[in-house]
Structure 1
Amino acid sequence: MSFKSQHLAGLLAGAYLALAPLSSSAQGLPAAGGEVTYADVADLADSAGLVVQAQVAKMVRIEDARARGLTPGHGRFYIQAKTRALLVGKAPLGESVSYLVDLPLDASGKAPKLKKQDVFLFARAVPGRPGELQLVTPTAQQAWSVRGEARLRAILQELVAPDAPARITGVRELLFVPGNLAGQGETQIFLNTRDGSAASITVKHEAGAVPVWGVSFSELVADVGHPPQRDTLEWYRLACFLPNVPPAGANISSGFGQQQQALSDYRMVLGELGPCSRTLG
């Protein structure tokens, strides 16, 4: 067996590649409707220990028979790339990296030509294999662009900020309390977070006015009237992870009417957040 074959065999044996179904936009190729979304990039950035900008130097296709779990219409490739920059991560990287990636094939069975193209890699280091990376998902290689780099750097900056909003895991309680005057009231929506930190949404009602709301990712009172803007980390945490319906028993408001108001306020918040659009599988 040649050195090249031995190296490939070792990589295939040691590398991990998540094999969830791929969408038409896999590996940074735009979906039919356009580019990857903010949520796509945030999903990848939030799950990767390493975010690397690299330039593809070499692509070698792996035989389909050796590509376990390969999605139909795709090919698995061994990539060697030149390291451009380490955007996030503490693992030391040399001048080059290597990894496995699944790429969609065209009608002729050919993969996109990526040689000399810059890409972003969302990955983790392979223990004991310097220079080898494991992509966190099959869509974790994304095409580089000026606009894409600006958006990615903004997301990464938000993620590492000391006051970064925690990951939302669910809704703990909803409580509507009427005010002293007719038309007044307030709904508190208390959220569960992965790290156990405080997070809540407040909806306020005033007579003759449209309800206003805000979110707090701390013990402080929510900034009511200034909900998170779309395509920010606060928006992503809510829009992409709040359930469509609160869990049974979470609505602890007193009486049917108040429970309905709390539920209506929850639906209003979801409506104003808008859909969490994703194009990657």
Structure 2
Amino acid sequence: MRIVHAKMSLCLIFLGLGTATSAQAPLDLPVSFAIQADSASYSDLADLIVISPLIIDVTVRNVKKLTVEQSVGVPTSMERVLVEADVMALIRGEGGFAPRVRFLLDVPKNAKGKIPKLKKQRVFLFGRQVQGRLGEIQLSRPNAVALFSAANDTLVRNITSEAVQLGAPRRITGITSAFHSAGTVLGEGETQIFLKTDNDQPLSLTVLSRPGQQKQWAVSTAEVIDASATAPERFTLLWYRLACGLPRSLPSERVEAASNQDTARAQADYKFVIDALGPCGRKR
């Protein structure tokens, strides 16, 4: 199965195909290989959801080790396997789908050279259907797998619901410009920062400072800055795009300022936003 990246129009389908089957205890796998069942990072899941036109919940039926010739390029610490799985639910996708799917997976070996027992394990797959091959899945990344849990199920569905909306927040590619305007009294001012996204979606930050009041910031997704805009809630797609996509500091060359003091204020306000967003939270 070769890696293919293709654009396709998407629709969202939440379709349960049955109740959960009896499964083995959750696997103890490296975070780098699979997103864990009990400690998933919002951002790790979002990383996979926003690039995957197909998201399915499956239970592993069979696992077949591939030959050395079929595993060219796989590190010696990993084993390439062909996995056959039963579809429990289609979370994101379009068109028809098969009730049983197959996909390639590189699984880490333990100290004895053995791989974990994947059979009967329930996992989420993030990828795309191979064109012209119903039931064959190409994972978005070699490790585009998350172990199933009720918490992960809720997270995956919530993030996917946001990701498929028209006007969903897009990937930030840089900062186009920024400027700071001092107010009429000491300590008053406003900083505006304009961002660039991969589809030129309007996105800007505003930071307001007033004497005797706590500094406030907001994000606007409209061409004209919305006076009613607020800061995004934590663990939403807009928060994820900002927390994981913004550079850690505001380059001085992006600040349109009449003085060094204005540049310093703009950079301080930008740092305030970064601190308010908190860490991105990726674990891999």
Would you say same fold, with TM above 0.5? Answer: yes
Report the equivalent of 1:251: 255
- Structure 1 residues 88, 234: closer, same or farther in 2, change over 3 A? same
**Alignment equivalent of 1:81, drawn from 78, 85, 88:** 85
- 2:46 is aligned with 1:59: no
TM-score, normalization: structure 1?
0.86
In the alignment, which of 215, 218, 240 is matched to residue 236 of structure 1? 240
**Structure 1, residues 207-231: CA drift from partner, whole Å, max 9, x if none?**
1222110111223535678422221
Q: Secondary structure at the match of 2:245?
A: coil
Aligned residues of 1:26 and 1:103 also touching (Cα < 8 A): no
Task: Give the equivalent residue in structure 1 for 2:100.
Answer: 96
Q: Tell me, what secondary structure is at the counterpart of 1:97?
A: strand
Aligned amino acid, residue 215 of structure 1: V
The alpha carbon displacement at 1:162 in A equals: 2.8
Task: Give the TM-score taking structure 2 as reference length.
Answer: 0.85
Report the Cα distance in structure 2 between the residues aligned to 1:127 and 1:273, rounded to whole angstroms. Answer: 40
Give yes or no for the alignment of 1:113 onto 2:117. Answer: yes
- Aligned counterpart, 1:28: 34
User: Within the alignment, does 1:273 sit opposite 2:260 as a pair?
Assistant: no
Q: How does 1:109-148 map to 2 (within 5 A)?
A: 109-148=113-152
Which of 167, 174, 182 is matched with 2:171 structurally?
A: 167
Q: CA deviation at 1:248?
A: 5.3
Hey, what's the Cα distance between the residues in 1 that align with 2:34 and 2:263?
44
Contact 1:48/1:123 (<8 A) preserved: yes
Matched residue SS, 1:240: helix
Letter in 2 for 1:25: V
In structure 2, how many angstroms separate the alpha carbons of the residues matched to 1:273 and 1:72?
A: 40
- 1:278 deviation in Å? 1.4
1:187 corresponding residue in structure 2 = 191
Identical-pair percentage: 35
The whole-number CA distance in structure 2 between the counterparts of 1:263 and 1:247 is: 8
Distance 2:262 2:58 in 1: 55
Q: Is 2:204 the partner of 1:200?
A: yes
User: Tell me, what secondary structure is at the counterpart of 1:28?
Assistant: coil
Q: Is the 8 A contact 1:26 1:138 kept in 2?
A: no
CA distance in 2, matches of 1:63, 1:254: 66
| Per-residue deviation, residues 155-210 of structure 1 (Å, max 9, x unmatched) | 00111223422221111111000011221110001000111121000000001222
User: Aligned partners of 1:176 and 1:103: how far apart in 2?
Assistant: 51
CA distance in 2, matches of 1:107, 1:244: 39
Q: 1:168 to 1:42 in 2, by over 3 A?
A: same
Q: Deviations along 1:111-134, whole A, 9 cap, x unmatched?
A: 121211211110111122221110
Structure 1: distance between partners of 2:228 and 2:268 = 17
Q: Which residue identity is paired with 1:155?
A: I
The 3 A distance-change label for structure 1 pair 67 and 17 is: farther
1:215-268 CA-to-partner distances (Å, cap 9, x unmatched) read 112235356784222211111010101012334521112210000000111111
3-state SS, counterpart of residue 166 of structure 2: coil
Amino acid at match of 1:275: P
In structure 2, the gaps of 5 or more residues are: 6-28
SS at match of 1:123: strand
CA contact (8 A) 2:35 2:44 kept: no
Verify the 8 A CA contact 1:202 1:215 in the aligned structure 2: yes
Give SS of 2:50's match: helix
The root-mean-square deviation of aligned C-alpha atoms, in Å, is: 2.2
> Deviation string for 1:62-108 (max 9, x for gaps)?
23453122134211110001112211111421111101011112122
Aligned length: 261
Higher helix share: 1
What does residue 3 of structure 2 align with? Answer: 16
